[in-house]
Amino acid sequence: MDGIHDVGGKLGFGPIKVTHDDAAFGQAWEGRMLGIARAISRPKDWNSDKFRHTRELEDPVLYLTRPYFDQWYKAYACMLVGAGVVTVAELAAGKSDGSRPKELPQPMPAETVAKAKQGGAQFERPYDEAPAYKIGDRVRASLISPTGHCRLPAYVRGHFGEVVDYYGAHVVADAAAHNEVKLEPLYSVRFLISDLFPERTGAADRVCLDLWESHLDDGD
C-alpha cells in the first residue's frame, strides 16, 4: 500500500544519527518487547508479513515519531485484539478478564529458547513452472499501487532494471499478509540509481531489490 513506511528515495528526514557500538537495547522495555514477540503463544495464521503490514497501518505521525520497539508493541496489540485473544480494556488495565482461547498452544518455556534461536525460516518452496525471466533479462518494475501489503517499493515502480540473480520460488509476502498462500519466482533486480533519481545523472551507483515475478513486466 502507498503508506508512510515506503520511504525509499524520500527527502527531508534530516541527518543520520550515526552510532558505532549501540547496546542491543537502549532501554529495558525494548528488550522485554522483543522477548514477548519471540516467546508469545501465537495464533497459527500469524506470520511476519502480517506483522509488517500491521505496523505499516500505524498512524503516520506515530510511525515517524514512536520508538521502533514501541511500534512492535502496537502491531502486536492490534494483532492480539484483532484475533480476539485480548481486548483493548485488558491491554489498558494489564489485567486478564479470565478468558483464554483454548486453541492457542502453551507458551514457549525458557528451556526451548536455546533451540528456537537457531531457527532461520526458509521461504523457498518447490515449484514446477519455469520462471518468466532469466539472469541478464531487462525488466520493468510494474507500475502498480495495490491497497494491501506490497514489497515493491514506490521508488522503482515503472523503472527498467536487469535481473542479476534468481532465488527459486518464494512464498509471496504480498499475499501472505492477506491470508493467501502463493508462490512465485523471486529475482534480484538491479537498477541504476541515476535512472531512478534525476539529480544522480552520471553516477554509476546501483541498487538491487529482491522482487517477485508479479512485481515485474517485460522490459521491451
**Interface positions, 92-151, toward another protein (CB under 8 A):** 92-96, 99-101, 103-104, 106-110, 112-114, 117-124, 148-149, 151
Instruction: Indicate the residue among 38 and 134 with the shorter CB distance to another protein.
Output: 38
The x, y and z cell numbers of residue 63, run together, are 510511525
Segment 106-112 long-range contacts (CB within 8 Å, at least 24 positions apart): 106/41, 107/39, 107/40, 107/41, 108/38, 108/39, 108/40, 108/41
Q: Least distance to another protein from the beta carbon of 62, Å?
A: 7
Pick 7 or 219: Cβ nearer another protein: 7
Least distance CB 79 / another protein (angstroms): 7
Residue at grid coordinates 488495565: 93
Q: Please report whether residue 155 would count as binding another protein according to CB under 8 A.
A: yes
**81 contact partners, CB below 8 Å, separation of at least 6:** 87, 88, 91
Least distance in Å: CB of 161 to another protein? 12
193 binds another protein (CB under 8 A): yes
Give the x-and-dash track for 31-70 against another protein (CB under 8 A). Answer: xxxxxx-xxxx-x-xx---x-xxxx-xxx--x-x-xxxxx
Q: How many CA atoms lie within 13 A of 185 on its CB side?
A: 16
16 touching another protein, by CB under 8 A:
yes
Long-range contacts of 59-65 (CB under 8 A, 24+ apart): 60/3, 60/4, 63/4, 63/5, 64/4
Nearer to another protein, 122 or 136 (CB): 122
